[in-house]
A and B are shown apart, each in its own frame.
Chain A
């Protein structure tokens, strides 16, 4: 039982490049989330998903797209990376009833 797994752990992109951050959970959770955390700041919600095929915008969705491919996987795509998107990205999941959210270990993204 790995919990929430994020890949890659580290990534450096050039401005304008695109990439997809992957997240998978093996806890059969319905809900999944993407957050970003800038240095010295709290987490901000980018997108979330209640179930396969449904996604909703969070606090800071601009510049990102998401896909809930199936119940296990929730990916975050940067179509044209900008230096302002340099951050640590966390994926999380929570079960039906939502007693708590479980977080992955993060993807550290630097855009130069």
Chain B
């Protein structure tokens, strides 16, 4: 499984875009990039995922470089409620031998949105 590297922490001003980078230089062609976040001590919450193309949903945008070795999660207008730990995960497109997918989390980026 490809590993990911993220900065330990970041700050962002409220109302500004938050750009969270993730390095996954060992990613293979059939592996997806997933982003989750964990607010305070709650269970992680899915944000977005992508394979090659950039993706956007109501929560965020995901920009994947052409060589797929890194990606950036963009929260376009960060609010105080976006303060959380953000996890970048690389997940194979194929299942395990038992027929499921494994989600392996790293240590994430602690984003603090400042008023």
> Is B104 on the interface with A (CB-CB < 8 A)?
yes
Nearest CB in chain B to that of A100: its residue: B46
CA distance A41 to B87 in the complex (A): 11
Within 8 A of A (CB), among B74-115: 85, 87, 91, 95-96, 98-108
Q: List 13 A-B contacts (CB under 8 A).
A: A30-B99, A30-B100, A33-B103, A42-B85, A45-B104, A50-B95, A50-B100, A51-B100, A56-B98, A90-B44, A94-B101, A98-B91, A98-B95
Partner of A4 from B43, B100, B105, B107 at Cβ < 8 Å: B43
Which residues of chain B have C-beta atoms less than 8 A from A44's C-beta?
105
Interface residues contributed by chain A, number (CB under 8 Å) = 31
Judging by beta carbons under 8 Å apart, are A106 and B43 in contact? yes
Given contact pairs A42-B87, A42-B106, A90-B43, a sample of 4 additional A-B residue pairs in the complex whose CB atoms are under 8 Å apart: A42-B105, A43-B105, A45-B102, A56-B100
A-B contact count (CB 8 A): 71
Question: Mostly helix, strand, loop or mixed at chain A's interface?
Answer: strand
List A residues at the B interface (Cβ < 8 Å): 4, 30-31, 33, 35, 41-45, 48-51, 54, 56, 58-59, 88, 90, 92, 94, 98-106
List B residues at the A interface (Cβ < 8 Å): 34, 41-46, 49, 85, 87, 91, 95-96, 98-108
Nearest CB in chain A to that of B93: its residue: A98
Also in contact, A51 and B43, with CB within 8 A (given A42-B87, A42-B105, A42-B106): no
CA distance A87 to B107 in the complex (A): 15
